[in-house]
Chains A and B, each alone.
Chain A
Amino acid sequence: MVRLNINGREQEVDVDSETPLLWVLRDTLGLTGTKYGCGIAQCGACTVHLEGNAVRSCMLAAGAVEGKKIVTIEGLSPDGSHPVQRAWLEAEVPQCGYCQIGMMMAAAALLRGRPKPSDAEIDEAITNICRCGTYIRIREAIHLAASKA
């Protein structure tokens, strides 16, 4: 049993405490917005917020995040109204969309700490992989979200 606080809700989850948070979210809790891409914290498709910071959930044991506040894309906003989501929609960022959840979670965490990030700060913070090649619009949408916040 692991006690997790996900999207504002405390819950007991019947998993081995060594299970990576990613698989608890996806398979045990059905929160499939968070994606698997590499399993070695390289690609960022599994990015969630842990106490407001962007973390890669594929190598994070569930037992290690007990009692900490976890937010997934399903909890970022109830209706897609987070400035990052609105900016992503306006700039039509996603192509296949698979990596974009992690991208948006990383961007939302960046903007919490840096409400008006420079290009250089975006470069340093957004290290997720997009295979469709949407990087130009990701940068544009982060600036757009910064202007909306």
Chain B
Amino acid sequence: MTHISSPAFSRRFFLVSSAAAGGGLMLGLALPGLAGAAEGEGGAAGAKVNNWIIIQPDNTIIIRIARSEMGQGSFTALPMLVCEELECDWSKVKGEYASATENLDNSFGSMATGGSRAIRESQEMLRKAGASAREMLLAAAAQKWGVPRSELKAENSVITHIPTGRTMTYGEIAEAAAKLPPPAEVTLKDPKDWKLVGKAQPRFDIADKVMGRPVYGIDVRIPGMLYAALAQCPVFGGTLASYDEAKIATMPGFRQVVPMGDAVAVVADSFWQAHQALATLPIVWNEGANAKLDDDAIWAMLREGLAANDALVAEKSGDAKAALAGAAKVVEAEYRAPFLAHATMEPMNCTAQVAGGKVEVWAPSQNAEATLAVAAKAAGVDRKQVEVHITMLGGGFGRRGAVQDFVRQAVVIAKAAGKPVKLLWSREEDMRHDFYRPVSMAKFSAGLDAAGMPVSWMARVTGQSILAALRPEAIKNGLDRNFLEGIAEIPYEFPNFFVDYAMRNTPVPVGFWRSVNNSQNAFYKESFLDEVAHAGGRDPYELRRALLKNHPKQLAVLDAAAKQAGWGTPLPQGVFRGIAYHDSYGSLVCGVAELSVSDKGVIKLHRIVCALDSGYVVNPDTVVTQVEGAIVYGLTAALYDKITIRNGRVEQSNFDDYPMLRLKAMPKIDVVQVPSGGFWGGVGEVGLPPVAPAICNALFAATGKRIRSLPLSDHGFTTA
């Protein structure tokens, strides 16, 4: 067995094990599919041309990656952007995580992997890094040959002197290039000249994944490592009162109990022993002020928020109130959506070692910087004394980013144990101690003219603010702009428009869940717009066309979805369509659902069409899989799930009472990409928001029943 033993070794802790037929787990030093990069001080051996690019003598190009890979393809798409400008041989590119410790000076920019930002926020920096390195290589070659730069060209990691046909490889000149100053300015390619970006490339991480080789956080093994199981106070805000260690002291493998304020951990020689001892440990909790909190009180608070006088205006144009008063017809409705758990397949976990004033953590984290900061604080050391190894992530969806509770706990436990410890939460802990998608409600009023066109649109939204809990400094003038995503600033043009917002916070912890408030707001807005269309006697697609008439890019997406779905054409008997349009994360998106429903309420999903314009596309197949994945995440939420609170605690605990969509219920999905260029839209979340309203609008078409709260299981609907 090869071991991880010191921080110096593991800068590029990589993610592949060789747990072949028997024995241990070998931890090596490269990213998935990228085994074998030599190690050296400050990164891989070879010439570091700039922060992002290391070129080895054999023309291997190592590209540093600051965003986490969680299945969304960052390891592949981000290097593609560098390679496009670097003009290097893609077949010899390897990825390597940038170190959060190295990034204390922010030289790699943000490491946060969320908000569908990995490409959008780093593309310019990465393309410039590639172009800058290319120019340094060309300048070094020109010097060496004593020829003008203008006589050289670079392609496929080879520099050619055009007049003579002489060539040299990047590997030959990289060391000299690394000594040159970077060019003051670089010119980026015209997107029409891209050779790699925009062409589907196989993902780097797949080959290892089909072998079961990647090391997820849960798979980390350190010599001498102990295992910890954790119980947190089931009531939010409660604390640990007492426990009776004597009752478990003689259990097999038991090492110690670590109390932590609101939680208690049991450390043992194996996870199962820790888990068993924890289950036996008598624990008394101080349940605190929230011991009687339940859903009725939470929804009552939100209902009050719908009528309250303290709402803040989020967006307005014209005089919506007056237009409503003068309308030929008024439509009103209230909507709501529940708390939801992330339920990543890999439960929360982290491995930590605290020794000699240094801290090392191995974590499936969406944000290496946040992991580093939390670990430093938990151990009481300077950030420079912490090394973070990002393992493979078994799903993220926002749970493993801003909040790093599992890292804090692992460091505290490892410090108490004086040995490396792997903390693993049970599925039940994971379900009951999430940072949930917040509860919210919306109340709409629309005024229609005699022709059925909306002349006034008013919305009051209320509910729990994520930013108030996690980033209060981001709240401006009392408004949480995240909460208002996709409901305050929308492309539809109503002559009179008004949205206001009453923040109502509960003691339940909330966080960023795939597509954040877009997931609820799209359900509200697009369902209510469907109500308005039917009330006005207008086709839901045609009404959207009318409201988007001055937005050609949005119209193109709406039309692409309608065309693919055959909107307006006959369907087989019993099959019905619903449409929903929703922009998010800089991308323009439209979904159409096709379903049938039995008289017993059994829904069969036939097809989901999703058209999107994400501007520029880097790896087109990844866009398809991200959209498919987001649709499944949205389907699960719309059909089945809610987190409910009773006596201050979450009622659900596992996949038996918080079900997931399975293969049998899976519809066909058509992803239609209509990239128009000119902007960089996100793709990781954007497929989700249209799903719930498209389905509910199709259900209305099928049954005449308007769904104004989720999940559909609350309304007697099931899937086969």
Contact = CB atoms under 8 A, between A and B. Distances in A.
A129 B22 CA distance: 27
A96 B666 CA distance: 19
B660 A136 contact: no
Contacts of A100: 209-210
For the complex of A and B, 6 pairs with smallest distance between CB atoms: A133-B632, A33-B212, A95-B71, A98-B394, A96-B71, A97-B209
B19 interface: yes
B252 A16 contact: yes
Interface stretch (B142-150, B213-221, B373-381, B477-485): B213-221
Interface in A98-131: 98-101, 104, 122-124, 126-131
B19 A27 contact: no
Interface residues of B, number: 66
Nearest to B18: A74
Size category of the A interface is 35 or more
Interface in A45-89: 45, 72-75, 78, 80, 85, 88-89
Contacts of B210: 80, 85, 88-89, 93-94, 100, 104
From B21, B211, B396, name the one whose CB has the most chain A CB atoms within 10 angstroms.
Answer: B211
At the interface, is chain B mostly helix, strand, loop or mixed?
Answer: loop
12 contacts: A19-B272, A23-B271, A27-B272, A30-B1, A37-B427, A42-B654, A94-B205, A97-B205, A100-B210, A104-B210, A132-B629, A135-B632
A94 B206 contact: yes
Contact of B206 (A27, A42, A92, A122): A92
A138 B270 CA distance: 33
Contacts of B17: 32-33
A94 to B, nearest CB: 4
Contacts of A136: 628, 666, 668-669
Contacts of B396: 96
Interface of B: 1, 17, 19-25, 70-72, 202-203, 205-207, 209-216, 218-219, 221, 227, 252, 270-272, 343-347, 392-397, 424, 426-427, 621, 625, 628-633, 654-656, 660-664, 666, 668-669
From A7, A33, A133, name the one whose CB has the most chain B CB atoms within 10 angstroms.
Answer: A133
A20 B272 CA distance: 8
Interface string A17-37: 001100100111111111111
Contact of A43 (B345, B633, B666): B345
Given A134-B629, A136-B628, A98 B395 contact: yes
Nearest to B269: A27
Nearest to B221: A30
A34 B392 CA distance: 15
Nearest to B631: A133
B366 to A, nearest CB: 12
A92 to B, nearest CB: 5
A136 to B, nearest CB: 6
Contact of B19 (A31, A38, A78): A31
A124 B662 CA distance: 10
Contacts of A80: 207, 210-211
B218 A96 contact: no
A43 B660 CA distance: 9
Given A43-B345, A126-B663, 7 more contacts: A33-B17, A34-B212, A39-B426, A89-B206, A97-B71, A133-B631, A139-B663
Contacts of B19: 30-33, 74
A32 B17 CA distance: 9
Contact of A97 (B218, B392, B663): B392
A137 B669 CA distance: 11
B206 A7 contact: no
A30 B18 CA distance: 10
Contacts of A7: 21-22
Nearest to B227: A27
B271 A27 contact: yes
From A40, A45, A98, A127, name the one whose CB has the most chain B CB atoms within 10 angstroms.
Answer: A98
A9 B629 contact: no
From A20, A31, A96, A134, name the one whose CB has the most chain B CB atoms within 10 angstroms.
Answer: A96
B21 A74 contact: yes
A9 B272 CA distance: 23
Contacts of B632: 130, 132-133, 135
